[in-house]
Structure 1
Amino acid sequence: MTPDSTPTVRQLLAFYLEAGVDCALGDEPVDRLSDPVILPVASEAPLSQPVRTIPAAVPTLRGDTAPAPEAAIHSAREAARTAPTLEVLRELLEKFDGCALKSTATRLVFADGNPQARIMFVGEAPGREEDLEGLPFVGRSGKLLDRMIGAIGLDRTSAYIANVIPWRPPGNRTPTPQETQICLPFIQRQIELVNPDVLVTLGNPSTQTLLSTREGIMKTRGRWFDYDTGTRVIRALATFHPAYLLRSPSYKRLSWQDLRSIAKALEQQVPS
């Protein structure tokens, strides 16, 4: 294709797919640079009265409305704390409409593995393969995770796997801080219900979110933290996300050290 030629539809679609755009978000284009919706000022109102934007709802990617972030976070907290079991928690997430990611994802990616496991792994968010299958860590990074835990005698029947964000962000983009805070109560309740002896955070986002640290993964990996569920303190260790190891295989040696530390901790701890 020459610089002056007009690309075909096929070429444009190939370009978008290569750039990570693999799902349509709406039937009509949305001008995201336009001014926010303004409430009309009543004619009898004083001229000095300020004009206020609408705070009750925010537009989602499909053009409908979702609760404002503060209301959505409060709703998530109230819903999560009422879940007595993992099954009920999953049902609550299926019905929860406070996070706009739900409207662009194919399906909920709740968890995989054994809910009675002594170890729980938590990543950041699902990718394309996970979104299609409804299970966490089933793509390339998931296959590497399987090999990693297999090296210390574990598999998906003896581990529990989830993500902080249960819906795939469009194009695998990074979840926003608001999206993370809205989903946080659900993963916190999920950890509490699984009640593992060891919690492993995979990568920087899940480590910073769950272990309340601002340090990068290079400083936090291999370190043990105390994760307090409110009813019990769980030993937690941060390590590299498998997707990062695929991009930077030289760090697999450090990841192996973390895995050995996890195996040793499981051996030393008396099952709860």
Structure 2
Amino acid sequence: MSTDHDDRHGADGRLLDLLADKALFGLDAAEERECADLLASGSVADREQFDRLAAETAVALAGVHGAMPVELRARLRGDARRFAAGEAVVPGRHAWLPVELRGGLMLLGTVAAAACVLFMVAGPGRDKDSAPDPEPVIAQDPPQVAPRVPEVPPTRLPTPALQRDEMLASVRDAQTIDCVAAAGSDEQADADGDVVWSDQRRRGFLRVKGLARSEPGRNQYRIWILDGSRGKPISGGVFQVAEDVGEVVVPILPQAPVQGPTMFVVTAEEPGGDGEYDAGRARVVARAE
């Protein structure tokens, strides 16, 4: 008798599995025949209960009649987790979930399996307070990098020597006046050079060599411009002479307009002096003809 009960229990379990598969996935021809034979043998299983369960669960998950009740959602999730962990799940009775117990046979894990599969297919209901799904990651093009603009070195002003050459080459009225050492200047007896001057531009350049080294803060050289129309020389700027420089080219920048200079004089003086012309300090003289 025990053997008959076990065979009957096994047949009912197999029929429940087939009905659950039919409701969820459908059966092939061989499984359909096996299911029909088990139903014809008088099995206690309700052939339509899994169809109803699948349909009602799908409707509830689809939100046709509103959100799934929180209590039911919690029970289904708990059953699904326990079923996935291999635990036996005993479904309870519910008004909208007609699971019947017939002949003492309890639908232990099959309903939980159906609910678990439906949850995976249709997606679980969302609690109002649950965190939203993360935003999908959309592939983006890499940021556009602006082409690198080559660095342009800062424009360097031409040196006084180059400016002097440019004046000689391009300015029509540029004239060259030779420099000689001033009388009585023993230290700069070998000094010489020239002055390039343009009345049109009212400026010029002094090129000189043989001057003694100056010491910033102690002494310096000043260029003086003598204009026949003026009774007082005009300063043309100051400059220094380093020990390792053989030739010096400095611009002559008059502090007042000059018309037809007659002589250029280089004097040695102390920084911060009275700025008065003193012929006794002359070191180099350039006389215009």
TM-score (norm 1): 0.22
Task: Specify which structure has the higher proportion of helix.
Answer: 1
TM-score (norm 2): 0.21
Task: Specify which structure has the higher proportion of strand.
Answer: 2
- Relative contact order higher in (CA < 8 Å, ≥ 6 apart): 1
